């Protein structure tokens, strides 16, 4: 049985005041969330604040990105694995489509970041997903396969995925209010699992695959009810405590 995970990706939102209010709201509503792993991924600058507020609660925290170089060094503007560990992060989002499409992160860089995160003992949430034009051109599986194959290309990559979570986020569904239907999402999730199975059958059965893209309280239960969807990576709705908590509850089986 794969334990569901619901992770909030706050993206570039928040202030010290709004972070305090949001965490307060989440803590207040977590008592009836059972059997689900819950995490929030604030902007780097609020990680210390979030760590302090969430210490000792059942909610984990993580970052939205990390440097592909481990440790420390002359990499202006970057944040390392060691820094995330120092702040008690459990998770780190890797290869989000906004990183790929706005900041030019390619498959090889995403795979390297995934390895660095795993070597540090962090759990990477590795994002894959196709653009609208790729879906319309019938290239969804080819794109997702290419993104996955970069992760699976050698033994270390496959081993790294044993400590990782995959998030399927169709780019056309992110922040658009246009959710993939449960059937559309399930089709790609099943494809991801079958692709991983060609390298490691046990891993394919065990790895958690989250869905992301306009998940809301009103559509979460149906999406999470699909056989190969093991929770969600939530953007906009994770900025509202009540909505995020409702989505966490929808992941309880």
Q: How many angstroms separate the most distant Cα atoms in the chain?
A: 48
Task: Look up tokens 């890797």; give the residue.
Answer: 94
Closest to ligand 13P by CB, 42 or 235:
235
**Subset of 152-181 contacting ligand 13P (CB under 6 A):** 169, 174-175
**Subset of 198-227 contacting ligand 13P (CB under 6 A):** 212-215
User: Quick check: 14 binds ligand 13P (CB under 6 A)?
Assistant: no
Closest to ligand 13P by CB, 144 or 199:
144
Total residues binding ligand 13P (CB under 6 A): 14
169 is catalytic: yes
User: Quick check: 250 binds ligand 13P (CB under 6 A)?
Assistant: no
CB of 199 to ligand 13P, least distance (A): 25
96 is catalytic: yes
User: Quick check: 235 binds ligand 13P (CB under 6 A)?
Assistant: yes
User: Quick check: 233 binds ligand 13P (CB under 6 A)?
Assistant: yes
Compute CA distances 164 → 104, 116, 178, 209, 223, whole Å. 22, 12, 27, 10, 21
Q: What is the DSSP string of 14-41?
A: --HHHHHHHHHHHHHHGGG--S-EEEEE
Half-sphere CA count of 82, side-chain side, radius 13 A: 5
Compute CA distances 247 → 205, 217, 234, 244, 252, whole Å. 24, 5, 9, 5, 9
CB of 31 to ligand 13P, least distance (A): 25
Closest to ligand 13P by CB, 151 or 199:
151
Closest to ligand 13P by CB, 199 or 238:
238
Task: Look up tokens 């969600």; give the residue.
Answer: 232
CB of 149 to ligand 13P, least distance (A): 22
CB of 29 to ligand 13P, least distance (A): 19
Query: What is d(CA 64, CA 96) in angstroms, rounded to the nearest whole number?
Result: 8
Query: What is d(CA 181, CA 191) in angstroms, rounded to the nearest whole number?
Result: 16
* Sign, CA torsion 144/7/69/13: positive
Alpha carbon of residue 216 to chain centroid? 16
User: Quick check: 234 binds ligand 13P (CB under 6 A)?
Assistant: yes
Q: Which of 105, 134, 169, 186 is catalytic?
A: 169
Residues recognised as catalytic: 96, 169
Interface contacts to ligand 13P, rule CB under 6 A: 9, 96, 169, 174-175, 212-215, 233-237
């Amino acid at each position: 049985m794969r334990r569901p995970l619901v992770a909030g990706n706050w993206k570039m939102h928040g202030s010290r005041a709004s972070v305090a209010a949001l965490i307060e709201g989440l803590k207040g509503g977590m008592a009836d969330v059972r059997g689900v792993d819950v995490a929030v991924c604030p902007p780097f600058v609020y990680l210390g604040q979030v760590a302090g507020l969430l210490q000792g609660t059942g909610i984990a925290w993580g970052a939205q990105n990390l440097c592909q170089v481990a440790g420390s060094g002359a990499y202006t503007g970057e944040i390392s694995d060691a820094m995330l560990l120092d702040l008690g992060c459990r998770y780190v989002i890797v290869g989000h489509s906004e990183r790929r499409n706005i900041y030019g992160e390619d498959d090889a860089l995403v795979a390297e970041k995934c390895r660095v995160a795993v070597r540090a003992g962090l759990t990477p949430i590795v994002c894959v997903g196709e653009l609208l034009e790729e879906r319309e051109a019938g290239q969804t599986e080819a794109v997702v396969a290419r993104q996955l194959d970069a992760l699976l290309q050698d033994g270390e990559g496959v081993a790294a995925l044993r400590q990782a979570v995959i998030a399927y986020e169709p780019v056309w569904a992110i922040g658009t209010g246009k959710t993939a239907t449960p059937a559309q999402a399930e089709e790609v999730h099943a494809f991801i699992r079958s692709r991983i199975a060609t390298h490691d059958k046990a891993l394919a059965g065990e790895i958690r695959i989250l869905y992301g893209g306009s998940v809301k309280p009103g559509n979460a239960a149906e999406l999470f009810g699909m056989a190969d969807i093991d929770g969600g990576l939530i953007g906009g709705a994770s900025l509202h405590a009540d909505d995020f908590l409702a989505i966490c509850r929808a992941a309880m089986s």
